[in-house]
Structure 1
């Protein structure tokens, strides 16, 4: 697949969001990390880290905890080299024997090659019943 590069249009921004959703739903940290610059800066809730190896480490920890992970992203807005999304995902917390739904927002900034150089994420987790799952 060709990397979608800035400046974004409505069509290319939506395609970038869909590509991110598809990649994250593979739950393959190495594959997901390739969408980011080598020195990509992340804020994920209260964690701050930099670089692809830190991204891979973070995603491995995430998906070891968040079982049966399923994500849906929605384009919120875009500019030349930035995209904002809202998202929700569902997962099972094995430790607490509880299904969860996470709602949040991400703000992305891309370099000229279409790799994400900044990712800023905020989210809230809500306990749900298994019968309330929708993803």
Structure 2
């Protein structure tokens, strides 16, 4: 199985990889997202350490059962031959109806076939009001490549 674009990355390929990841995560389909990782992929997500697609899929299933109306934006930060650094924001609500925005950075390392073999994510959460929401679903086509808003909330 090959997941283009494959390393070595140039800027266009790195941007395409980031957009493909954003699109996949916005489906909230754990099996679909997990297929982008090597069978033995290593993850650090906050304080959780995962190994392999089965653990990734189980983690994502639980995540999207808790994080309702999840919508994500990713932005290329930097790239190298087989690595990409990303910053991201996502919003979701919990079961009690409280809204959250989460900010983070990810470091990605890819196998030659374009599957991600390592993902390290650092994430911080901020409670927001429904009126402060700014990520209202998947990114519209006309906004692809737009930078994430700054500063913070």
TM-score (norm 1): 0.97
Match of 1:43 in 2: 44
Between Structure 1 and Structure 2, the one with more strand by share is: 1
Compare 1-10 and 98-107 and name the one that shifted more: 1-10
User: Structure 2, unaligned stretches of length 5 or more?
Assistant: 136-153
Residues 46, 122 of structure 2: 8 Å contact kept:
yes
CA RMSD of aligned residues (A): 1.1
Q: Give 1:105 deviation, angstroms.
A: 0.2
Match of 2:67 in 1: 66
Is residue 132 of structure 2 the alignment partner of residue 108 of structure 1?
Answer: no
Match of 2:91 in 1: 90
Is residue 138 of structure 2 the alignment partner of residue 134 of structure 1?
Answer: no
Residues 18, 75 of structure 2: 8 Å contact kept:
yes
Q: Which runs of 4+ in 1 moved over 4 A?
A: none
1:85–1:6 distance in 2 versus 1, CA, 3 Å: same
User: Structure 1, unaligned stretches of length 5 or more?
Assistant: none
Quote the Cα distance in structure 2 between the aligned partners of 1:2 and 1:78.
Answer: 17
The number of aligned residues is 134
Deviations 1:54-92 (A, max 9, x none): 000000000000000000000000000000000000000
Q: Give 1:94 deviation, angstroms.
A: 1.1
